[in-house]
């Protein structure tokens, strides 16, 4: 049985809304992860700068307050930082795919700059060698 035009339109609109909802959820998750990354960065900096003479210090793990050795706490925070960065990068790459999928559902062309990558050091050095003002 063939679908009517109204059914096709409703199907397209609902698919577009689902993708848009995923995009918004990812944006909110990026904000939360960035806050967590900043708090972790501040904690690392504080421990490295102001807690040099202390062997043990108090640190919160979730909602629990724990006393642990300074070096162990630093390692845990740095590992957490790596995990957070990996999660942020994964969500950002997924976000590019979702945005292009959303634009495809709306029958728009994909963003031309969404797949840009940074220049490598080798490429930048070659460019710098040929352009005297850099």
**Contact 72/55 with Cβ under 8 angstroms?**
no
Q: Give the pLDDT of residue 129.
A: 85
pTM above 0.85, yes or no: no
Q: How far apart are the first and last CA of the chain?
A: 65
For the chain, state the CA radius of gyration. Answer: 23
> Nearest Cα to 91, choosing from 18, 24, 13, 29?
29
The CATH number, out of the four listed (3.90.1150.10, 3.30.413.10, 1.10.287.370, 2.60.40.740), of the domain defined by the range 5-130: 1.10.287.370
Helix/strand/coil (H, E, C) string of 44-77? HHHHHHHCCCCCEEEEEECCEEEEEEHHHHHHHH
Res 105 pLDDT > 80: yes
The full set of domain ranges for the chain reads: 5-130
**Contact 23/103 with Cβ under 8 angstroms?**
no
Averaged pLDDT for residues 99-110: 83
What are the structure tokens assigned to 79, written together? 């590992």
Q: Give the pLDDT of residue 76.
A: 93
Could you tell me what percentage of the chain is helix, strand and coil, using 3-state DSSP and rounding each to the nearest 5?
70, 10, 20
Averaged pLDDT for residues 78-106: 92
Cα within 13 Å of Cα(11), Cβ side: 6
């Amino acid at each position: 049985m063939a679908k009517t035009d109204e059914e096709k339109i409703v199907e397209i609109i609902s698919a577009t809304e689902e993708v848009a909802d995923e995009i918004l959820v990812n944006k909110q998750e990026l904000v939360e992860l960035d806050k967590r990354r900043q708090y972790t960065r501040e904690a690392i900096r504080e421990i490295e700068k102001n807690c040099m003479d202390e062997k043990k210090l108090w640190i919160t793990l979730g909602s629990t307050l724990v006393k642990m050795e300074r070096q162990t706490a630093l390692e845990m925070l740095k590992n957490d930082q790596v995990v957070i960065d990996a999660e942020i990068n994964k969500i950002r790459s997924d976000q590019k795919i979702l945005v292009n999928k959303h634009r495809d559902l709306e029958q728009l062309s994909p963003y031309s700059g969404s797949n840009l990558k940074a220049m490598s050091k080798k490429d930048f050095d070659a460019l710098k060698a040929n352009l005297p003002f850099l």
